[in-house]
Structure 1
Amino acid sequence: MALTPMMQQYFTIKENYQDCILFYRLGDFYEMFFDDAELASKELELVLTGRDCGLEERAPMCGIPYHAASGYIGKLIQKGYKVAICEQVEDPKEAKGIVKRDVIKIITPGTFLDDNFLDKGSNNYIMAVTAGKDRYGLAFCDISTGEFQGTVIPLTSTALDNELSKFMPKEVVVSEDSTGDELAQRWKVLVNVRSVEEAVDSGNVQSYFKSFSGGYNGVVASACSLLLSYLEETQKTALSNLTHLEIYNTEDAMALDLNTRKNLELMENIVDKTRRGTLLWVLDESRTTMGARNLRRWMEAPLINRELIMRRLDAVDAIYSNLNLLEDLREALVGVYDIERIVSKIALKSVNPKEMITLRNSLSKLPAVKELLALVNYGELSRLHKKMDVLEDIHTLLDASIRTDAPMTMKEGEIIKDGYHREVDELRDIRHNGKRWIAELEQKEKEFTGIKSLKIGFNKVFGYYIEISKSNYSNIPEGRYVRKQTLANAERYITQELKEMEDKILGAEEKLNDLEYRLFAEIRDTIEVHVERLKNTARIIADIDCYQALAKVARDQGYVKPEFTGDGSIRIREGRHPVVEKMMQKGEFVSNDLTMDQKGESFLIITGPNMAGKSTYMRQTALICLMAQIGSFVPAKKAELSVCDRIFTRIGASDDLAGGKSTFMVEMSEVSDILLHATGQSLIILDEVGRGTSTYDGLSIAWAVIEYILKEIPGAKTLFATHYHELTALEGQLPGVKNYSVLVREVGKSIAFLRKIVPGGADESYGIEVARLAGLPKELLQRAKEILLRLEKKDHRTAEPVLEKPAKKGDLQLGLFDFEKESFLEKIQTLDVLNMTPMEAMMTLHQLHAEAKELN
């Protein structure tokens, strides 16, 4: 049996899109067949049916209405699939045989533009990777905003992971010689492999980017070209929203590796993977989605140029110092929507009329924002004021041309304003008067026939008709009506008069819809010429929004403007952890001081029990430094800082079982990476180094790490938390080492963590007491004390068994407090000896004597 012509066409098209789910347009539906249908029916919970296709068995088939396709496509994209949209590409009226169809766009996780599925506060990046002899070339693009960046990095998986963690691409395009399979497995992203020889074209890059920052060549040019060719292949249109290529150097910003981003919880909470409880959650007081994305970019790449840092801090300070300006800016920015993404849709010809009205409304807010900037006549805000283009001509065009109540669809009319175009007004008048004429005709026919239920209706198949119910057939005047359609309980008729008016009305309706669509396309294309102007203004609005957001947070949380010194020191007075503080009741957080320099106190060894606040203290130091270098005020009474080129953290326990790495192996790999890349200007946070192995092995490694940092990375400022109290002996032996500990006190029968960091080392870790607070059984804690005593009295590695029999009460370690003795003493202290009779005294003494023997 031979395939039907339609199925032959389907297979011919599908052959070129094997890696996509093909949405094949049939009438008002997108249909899927065979494997695509079975997959889509499962993922979208659609009913799987069948269709005769010329083969012995019916073709599995499922479909969706074309007007509801966006939601279904979004679900598939979120699951990591690619969707090819196949449309009719010729007018069915002019087709000879089957209507020609072709794929007009491929939608992928990295090229999706539907606002209902995109995170408004995050970029949606797609990435390309090419490998050279000793370097990777990387290119990143967010097609929804028009951003395009490229760089080169060392040819290592660690360097690649660190850069991916900054951009978090939804899709990766790799050359055939790159590590595509490895990336797909580690990052769980859709990876597309392309032949670099076919894709790379240096002229391709130049044709898009007439100007760019920095130079580019070699592997980065290959990566940019590879990505551009893939975008052209999927979008099947000119990418006129891509106007600027930024070639960046990873060393021009503070480097934050994957572990540091995770450990400091900059964007994502470690526990539940949400934004709550992160630094971004604290700082994001933005009023626009453009500002929210911009703040995220600032946090991903803190500045290391002191002049640029101070420029941002001064801008925040100008708004912070003027409460009226801050409140007015926040109010003015409320109505500014996502200009960046609307502009990209204009360039990609996917914008709808409703979004044009949104753009118009956003542009109407710009003059007020510019007027507010004029109040600050110095620094960064003054520069932004001078550069800001309020785009009055574009606003005027949109205000004059697009109806305020314009629909989302483009081919059903009601887009163009009355008075904008003469022919639109004429056709609209015909349509309006024609409908009024229809209403008048209906009333006239009711009066003529005496049939009160008579009505004139319309549908797309039969046009206008006069409908008369079955019970009124006897009242139909003979020879007046021509039967058009028979229904179960009615007949539909047409008259010559109604037919003539139908031709006039429908002709005007069709012409009007076509004309409005053409005019809308002209308006869109006119605005497309000004894409670069629109993008520049959007970037300025994003910067202004970030400055006011940081000023708002500083006022609300009591932050101060940091100062930057050139002596390599960090001096923080009453520093606080921004996230922990916000999650606590106001005034509950215990602040702490910190002083470090590159000589006398460059290495702080911090001891104390678990839960006492060591980790919080170290993290807050890192966050304060990072916040200052993005241009934010910081949570402290005063902060004098030096610019850090990198922040490293080694905190917590984790494994990589899939990669064959134990917890201790992961820990050592992270420490190794820190020691390899840290410099004298770096800030290093190390928590419990060596705890993943035996005591003496771990202690030896921790000791050696301290010596290595002090010797090989002089000047690196390091916070080192540990339970190896033996390391506190290094103070005085190694230059730069200072001991600090967390104050702990007994309050009644409980431990009080005072959260205060003080000079000197801790003598105890109080682990058993912390275990008691966690609720471990009393008998277990008792036994732990016995074992601890014996371990402290002898070398636990000897062959002699530990505790052949339970220890006596008197052999126990003197803990932070002894509950039974404490209870005994309390009982004695409360005795009312003077009011006892001799007999009562004797009996009480006998009881106390017995209890005392039990305690021993």
Structure 2
Amino acid sequence: MGSRQDSVSIRQDEGDGCCAASARSDLSTILSSVLTMLGRSLDSQRGITRIFHCKATAKEFVGVIQAVLTAGKELRKLVLEDTDNVSSQHRTVHSSLLRRLISTASSSAVLANAVKLLSCLDKDAADQGDMINLFISSVDQFPEVAEGHVTVQMAKQKLDLLIVEYRKQLGMRSLEYKTVSGTAYLIELPVDRRVPSNWMKVNSTKKTIRYHTPEVLKNLDNLLLAKEELAVICRKTWHKFLMDFGKYYAQFQASVESLAALDCLYSLATLAKQNNYVQPNFVPENEASQIHIKDGRHPVLESLLGDNFVPNDTDLHADGQYCQIVTGPNMGGKSCYIRQVALITIMAQVGSFVPASSAILHVVDGIYTRMGASDSIQQGTSTFYEEMNEASNILQNCSSRSLVIIDELGRGTSTHDGVAIAYATLHYLLKNKKCIVIFVTHYPKILDIQSEFEGSVGAYHVSYLSTRKLLQISDEKMGISTETEDLGEITFLYKLVAGASDRSFGLNVALLAQLPLRCIKRASVMAAKLQEEMSKRDENKLLRLMDEPSRDGPWESSPEVGLLCAEPHQGLMEACRRILRDMRSAQSNNDVTNTLSCLKSAQEIASKMIKG
């Protein structure tokens, strides 16, 4: 990773003065020129493989080998092989990885073999797919091809000698063979010209008739046969030529792979320079797992949003807080944040600079994610099954050096089951794996896990601003006619802050998705009703707990309450009993206003008790 990061720094503005800056400029210019040329050429990696498997056409062969040769010659300008200039080489190419890649891509053996291979072929014939004229034949190199060409030439010479005889025979000094509609070696004569009876008429016009003589037909058959034999020889020779390339394959494959690596590194360097990426730092292997990212940015969204993207910090450490539970409104940026952390981790480990102000992390042995899911009709599995299968894979394979990212686990089943599974999964990760975890959820109950893993789990949410307004919503069937505080405007700030979010703003998303207003209003009524029922259940549970006798007797007789009943708390205790009676009455009458008043009074009494 370190050598790759050094290589990526070729376009960063760092150096030791004008000479170093000039050297880096030359390196960048040459690499840019080479890679631009390769971008316009055929796919060299694919081409080399096709050549090795004898599948390449002559045009592909020439294109790929020529690209490797041209790139190698340009890169040779950066390689200073004489020992007297080693220091100059190091100044020009300071990265050991870059030096190795450039040397491999432009090795003398590769360039010499490329010249040798291309010298055997005619480029124009290769471009046109002309196999007969493809080989620059010589008796020593391609004897069969040379012999085939000689046979063809002899057949053509015999035909040329025949036209000389026909000129004398017909007394026509300007007589030449004609080719019409693909038929060659035609003798064209006026209509009134008498010819031997064994001359075969091929075609005619109003003024001329075209013939093939028996001698021409015989020699033409010989010529066609010679050409066919030459074509067969050329195909066999081409196949053998590709087979012989096998002894050069390893060299060219290494060169092409080096060019591909240079392309990748240069692209990463260009990206880092254009977007102000920084070099990440890795802690030693004996240090605890940790991820510290300052002003981290999503590399893809940043390119789309530019300066409008909101960066976020990430601080996780195995010896401190190593789990983040992220809550917040829908469309608020939760998934973007966790993807951002994963992408920065991946980019750092492949040797790239990262989109952040600074980044310190350990070398992870795996990044495990559970984000989104879809069913598989072919395998007969549901969406929820796929979700559980992914979670199972994470729990079985992750380790303390892994990064685990889970997004809304348990949403594909009932609320109770979903909460239970999500809670148990996170609990297993924290207790048994102790790995870095970012857990996104809409279930507030998950936050209770903080009490068991105090200091190790932090609650966060993506911040927002909301403006509340009252909507008049009525529903006769449900018996509700009230002003509901909902569907106010929400402004997403996309900033990760400490603390849990109390709302998800699902109805706002439904409104953005243009669900029918009647549907949204009914959903708002149902939400208000469910919230009210939940509040009543909580209040009734509290009242029952206060009414139920403890193991030692009624709650008033417990030691703690006994202290309250003693002076000077006797008056406060009486006030508590009075508030309890008033709250029961308000609950029975469904009087929300009096219930809230009782709770406020209870808060004041509790404050007095604390002050003593």
Provide the TM-score with structure 1 as the length reference. Answer: 0.51
Q: CA deviation at 1:756?
A: 0.6
1:580–1:428 distance in 2 versus 1, CA, 3 Å: farther
Partner in structure 1 of residue 446 of structure 2: 727
Over the aligned positions, Cα root-mean-square deviation in angstroms equals 3.9
Equivalent-residue separation in structure 1 for 2:517 and 2:331 (angstroms): 20
SS at match of 1:406: helix
Deviation (angstroms), 1:706? 2.3
1:744-784 Cα distance to aligned partner (Å, 9 max, x none): 10369621001011111112222223323332333333332
SS at 1:757 equivalent: strand
Question: For 2:239 and 2:512, how far apart are their aligned partners in 1?
Answer: 69
Q: 1:445 to 1:496 in 2, by over 3 A?
A: farther
Task: Decide whether aligned partners of structure 1 residues 712 and 364 sit closer, same or farther in structure 2, where only a CA change above 3 A counts.
Answer: same
Greater share of helix:
2
| Gap change, CA 1:484 and 1:600, over 3 Å in 2 | same
Could you tell me how far apart the structure 2 residues matched to 1:518 and 1:439 are? 33
**1:801: which partner in 2?**
none
In the TM superposition, residue 518 of structure 1 has moved relative to its aligned partner by: 5.6
AA of the residue aligned to 2:263: D
Counterpart position of 2:65:
360
- Given that residues 329 and 372 in structure 1 are in contact (C-alpha distance below 8 angstroms), is that contact kept between their aligned partners in structure 2? no
Q: Which has the larger radius of gyration?
A: 2
1:382 equivalent to 2:84? Answer: no
- Tell which deviates more after alignment, 427-436 or 527-536: 427-436
Residues 194-239 of structure 1 deviation map (CA, whole Å, 9 limit, x = unaligned): xxxxxxxxxxxxxxxxxxxxxxxxxxxxxxxxxxxxxxxxxxxxxx
Instruction: Quote the residue 1:482 is aligned against.
Output: 198
Whether the aligned pair in 2 keeps the contact of 1:415 and 1:520 (CA below 8 Å) is no
After TM superposition, give the deviation of residue 448 of structure 1 in Å.
4.7
Q: Which residue of 1 aligns with 2:247?
A: 529
Amino acid at match of 2:56: V
| Letter matched to residue 392 of structure 1 | L
Pairs within 5 Å for 1:421-500: 423=146, 427=150, 430=153, 437=160, 448=171, 456-457=178-179, 464-467=185-188, 472-474=190-192, 476-479=193-196, 482-487=198-203, 492-495=210-213, 498=216
CA offset digits 1:603-657 (Å, max 9, x no partner): 1011111000001001110111111112222111211111111111112242234
Contact (CA 8 Å) 2:202, 2:212: kept in 1 or not? no
- Higher RCO (CA < 8 A, seq sep 6+): 2
- 1:75-101 Cα offsets, whole Å, 9 max, x none, are xxxxxxxxxxxxxxxxxxxxxxxxxxx
Compared with structure 1, are the counterparts of its residues 441 and 514 closer, same or farther at alpha carbon in structure 2 (3 Å cutoff)?
A: farther
Structure 1 residue aligned with 2:297, among 576, 586, 591?
576
The aligned amino acid for 1:329 is: L
Map of 1:74 onto structure 2: none
Partners in 2 of 1:757 and 1:679 — Cα distance?
26
The residue that corresponds to 2:483 in the other structure is none
The answer on whether the counterparts of 2:187 and 2:212 sit within 8 Å (CA) in structure 1 is yes
User: 1:801-844 deviations in whole A, cap 9, x for unaligned?
Assistant: xxxxxxx9x99xxxxxxxxxxxxxxxxxxxxxxxxxxxxxxxxx
Give the superposition deviation at 1:363. 3.0
Read off the aligned partner of 2:6 and give its amino acid letter. Answer: D
Residue 333 of structure 1 corresponds to 35
Q: 1:700 to 1:426 in 2, by over 3 A?
A: closer
| Matches of 2:227 and 2:298, distance apart in 1 | 65
Residue number among 121, 127, 134 corresponding to 1:415 in the alignment: 134
Q: Aligned-pair distance for 1:503?
A: 7.1
Code of the residue aligned with 1:722 in structure 2: it is T
**1:30-85: CA deviation from partner (whole Å, max 9, x where unpaired):** xxxxxxxxxxxxxxxxxxxxxxxxxxxxxxxxxxxxxxxxxxxxxxxxxxxxxxxx
**1:426: how far off?**
7.4
> 1:521-670 to 2 correspondence within 5 Å?
521=239, 523-566=241-284, 567-584=288-305, 586-670=306-390
SS in 2 for 1:639: strand
Letter in 1 for 2:242: R
Report how far residue 719 of structure 1 moved: 0.8
Mapped partners of 1:781, 1:519: distance in 2: 76
d(CA) in 2 for partners of 1:331, 1:540: 16
- Taking a change above 3 Å as real, the CA distance of residues 499 and 766 of structure 1, as seen in their structure-2 partners, is closer
Shift in Å at residue 330 of structure 1? Answer: 2.5
Q: How far off is 1:797 after superposition?
A: 12
Amino acid at match of 1:769: N
Residue of structure 2 equivalent to 1:108: none
Within the alignment, does 1:687 sit opposite 2:407 as a pair?
A: yes
Partner of 2:519: 780
* Letter matched to residue 74 of structure 2: A
The one of 756, 761, 782 equivalent to 2:495 is: 756
Equivalent-residue separation in structure 2 for 1:499 and 1:486 (angstroms): 11
* CA shift in 2, pair 1:557/1:679, >3 Å: same
Q: In the TM superposition, what is the alpha-carbon distance from 1:412 to its structure 2 partner?
A: 4.5
For the pair 1:400 / 2:106, whether they are aligned, the reply is no
* Superposition deviation, residue 410 in structure 1: 6.9
Instruction: Give me the identity figure in percent.
Output: 30
CA contact (8 A) 2:3 2:95 kept: no
**Alpha-carbon distance change, 641 to 444 in structure 1, aligned in 2, over 3 angstroms:** farther
